[in-house]
Chains A and B, each alone.
Chain A
Amino acid sequence: MGTHLTPKELERELRERSPESENLIRSLMSCDRRHFLKVTARFAALAAAAGVIQPHAFQLVEVASAATTPEAAPAVAFSFAYVSDSHLYARGMTHRFAKAAAKAVADVNALDPQPDFVLFGGDLAQLGRPDELDFGRQILKDLKAPLKMMVGEHDWYFDLGEKWREMFGPDRYSFDHKGVHFVVLNSVVEKDFWTANGFTPEQRMNIVAGLDDGRQSRFEVGEEQRDWLAKDLAKVPKTTPLIVFSHSPLYKYYRPWNFWTDDAEKVQALLFPFKNVTVIHGHTHQLLTNRIRNIAFHGMLSTAWPWPYAPTGLPKLTLQMERADPFDQFDACGDGTVDVLAKGGVDKHYNLWDRNPRIVAYADVLKGIKGGGPSY
């Protein structure tokens, strides 16, 4: 029954059945697009429970997603949140990047329930200065959940990570959490381009900070760190779900902007033996989805600014976001959460400020379809 009801008939039917649906209908009519998904989901559940309509029939609300299938949501083992690429100058809380970072902290603190931990995805500072890193640490201090730090090239190339490691500890480490093995890498190692050219630490940092500055080297994890990774993974059963954090994407997207890790294939080779692998990376400041064999890759949003998509090399699984509106500081920026599924794999949430949220489901990545629907 019910699948051929007109919207008017459906509305009447639901109104008669419960006062709660009356409220829902009202909120559905007045809500903005951002809350539309949330409300429609509840509406669908209510309609299904009332026996008025089959859950899949409700998918006629096309805005929900073109790709998401109406399967039951998989069980979530736990969630963590991420904040990334804040690029802070030590210029006080009135600076636009500081306001954006604080906004992300407030977002994460407002999550209920709280995430198990928060990953910071690198590029806390803009020019690697001790005062910038210190300023960033103070902003992140307000996070209620435990914080895991990852390093980015903007944190590193003023003093080659000295201050960062003093503040946050090792730049590569691993930990286990609720049956998942996590690895945090420093993927922004560059070959020495400064000594021979006589660049000062400041010049070195400025060159690396320039995304399109060809005087620098390409990012890599490096042999020494790959050896460390191999040893670390040797202890882990191949059936244990693996989640790897890297600042740069652990695949090759666009070399001129270092949307790239030079030894990506060698790192991937260490991950292939595992049944279930997710790589979550920063640096690219955009929605990105990729899959190579058993490895799912997800980009993180920046709090500071969005990068345009590169001219070539975009992974096929990426559903591109519409161009950002430069007149809206927060457009195409944001933070997000990651739902780690009980069966392994993750559903990646992009909490886009001033746009509809995007959720890239593990099921879609496995099927090789673009997930998440439009973000506008």
Chain B
Amino acid sequence: MTPLRSIGVAALVSAAALLSSALSHSAGTPGGAPLAERAERGAVDGYASRTVWACDRRKSVVVEGVRPDEKLPPRKAQQVASLLGDLMRFCNEEVVARISTQERITLSVNGLPYVDYVPGGPLPVELVHGKVIHTDRDRQIWKAELDKVVAEGDRLFHSDELGTNGIACAMCHPDAANTHPETYPKFQTQLKKVALLRDMVNWCIENPLEGKVLADDDPRMKALEAYILVKRGHVPLEPGKH
């Protein structure tokens, strides 16, 4: 038995337990009608719904047309349990499934729009970025990679190693102030040509710092640009200004 299958079984057992003990709670209904009012409408009320959670509390199935306090019919209960078992394939994701009164099943993964789902069929997810669903771990790795480049830019920006005379970028630009990356590209009047941020960075390296200009694809240039843009990221874009 694969680990995934065992989780599915656990979910199934859990869902079954929920059915008998009626421990689950109602999610809000689309109409937002008060609970007492909804209860009076009876089992066929299209606005009534009952939500069943999987044991990981990240997957849920909303059964439409069933009141929160109503016991699920055995066939529906089986359908919910199978569906929750299926959804465990999404492992780290937040999934909400809805079973409509017409038995149509739709899914929303991580708050994305609802899409149709056929039980047993392929998962209805737009799998881009290498056909994997991004995990928290992935995101942490990406952030660490980004932070590393920005930190290197921060270091270079405060270091005298880009120049030859002891001067560093941050001496005139504390916290990257007065760098105005949001204004590039623009016609840099002093250079008498249209400049990108990197052109101005290179001007500063060559003149006040008396250093050697960096190639456009030099990792140090990328790091400097990354640091400046991150520091000034809250400033609205104003290309061509100032």
Contact = CB atoms under 8 A, between A and B. Distances in A.
Interface of A: 87, 89, 91, 95-96, 126-127, 210-213, 256-257, 305-308, 310-311, 323, 325-327, 329
A256 B172 contact: no
A305 B207 CA distance: 14
Interface stretch (B66-74, B88-96, B115-123, B174-182): B174-182
Nearest to B168: A210
A271 to B, nearest CB: 29
Nearest to A126: B166
Contacts of A325: 190
B58 interface: no
A127 B207 CA distance: 21
A323 B172 CA distance: 12
Interface string B33-71: 000000000000000000000000000000000000000
B165 interface: yes
8 contacts: A126-B166, A127-B166, A212-B174, A213-B158, A256-B175, A308-B172, A311-B177, A326-B208
Interface residues of B, number: 18
A320 to B, nearest CB: 13
A326 B172 contact: yes
B171 interface: yes
B174 A211 contact: yes
Nearest to A209: B171
A120 B177 CA distance: 27
Interface string B167-210: 10011111101100000000000100000000000011001100
B208 A308 contact: no
Given A87-B171, A211-B170, 17 more contacts: A89-B166, A91-B165, A95-B166, A96-B167, A126-B166, A210-B158, A211-B171, A212-B170, A213-B158, A257-B175, A305-B171, A307-B174, A326-B172, A326-B190, A326-B208, A327-B190, A327-B203
Given A91-B165, A96-B208, A326-B204, A210 B172 contact: no
B221 to A, nearest CB: 18
Given A325-B190, A326-B204, A308 B177 contact: yes
A249 to B, nearest CB: 16
The 7 closest A-B pairs by CB, nearest first: A308-B178, A212-B174, A211-B174, A327-B190, A308-B177, A89-B166, A212-B175
Contacts of A308: 172-174, 177-178
Interface of B: 158, 165-167, 170-175, 177-178, 190, 203-204, 207-208, 242
A305 B190 contact: no
Nearest to B242: A323
A329 B172 CA distance: 11
Contacts of A91: 165-166
A124 B216 CA distance: 37
Contacts of B190: 325-327
Contacts of A213: 158
A206 B165 CA distance: 16
B175 A95 contact: no
A89 B208 CA distance: 14
B200 to A, nearest CB: 8
A91 B242 CA distance: 35
A327 B203 CA distance: 9
B197 to A, nearest CB: 14
A311 B177 CA distance: 9
A127 B166 CA distance: 10
Given A96-B208, A210-B158, A325-B190, A257 B174 contact: yes
B171 to A, nearest CB: 6
A89 B165 contact: yes
Contact of A305 (B166, B172, B203): B172
A314 to B, nearest CB: 13
A210 B207 CA distance: 21
A96 B174 contact: no
Nearest to A256: B175
A255 to B, nearest CB: 12
A98 to B, nearest CB: 10
A148 B25 CA distance: 79
A305 B170 CA distance: 11
Contacts of B167: 96
**Most chain B CB inside 10 Å of its own CB: which residue of A213, A307, A310:** A307
A201 to B, nearest CB: 17
Contacts of A327: 190, 203, 207
A46 to B, nearest CB: 39
Contacts of B172: 305-308, 326
A89 B168 CA distance: 13
A283 to B, nearest CB: 12
A66 B165 CA distance: 41
Nearest to A305: B172
Contacts of A307: 172, 174
Contacts of B177: 308, 310-311
A306 B171 CA distance: 9
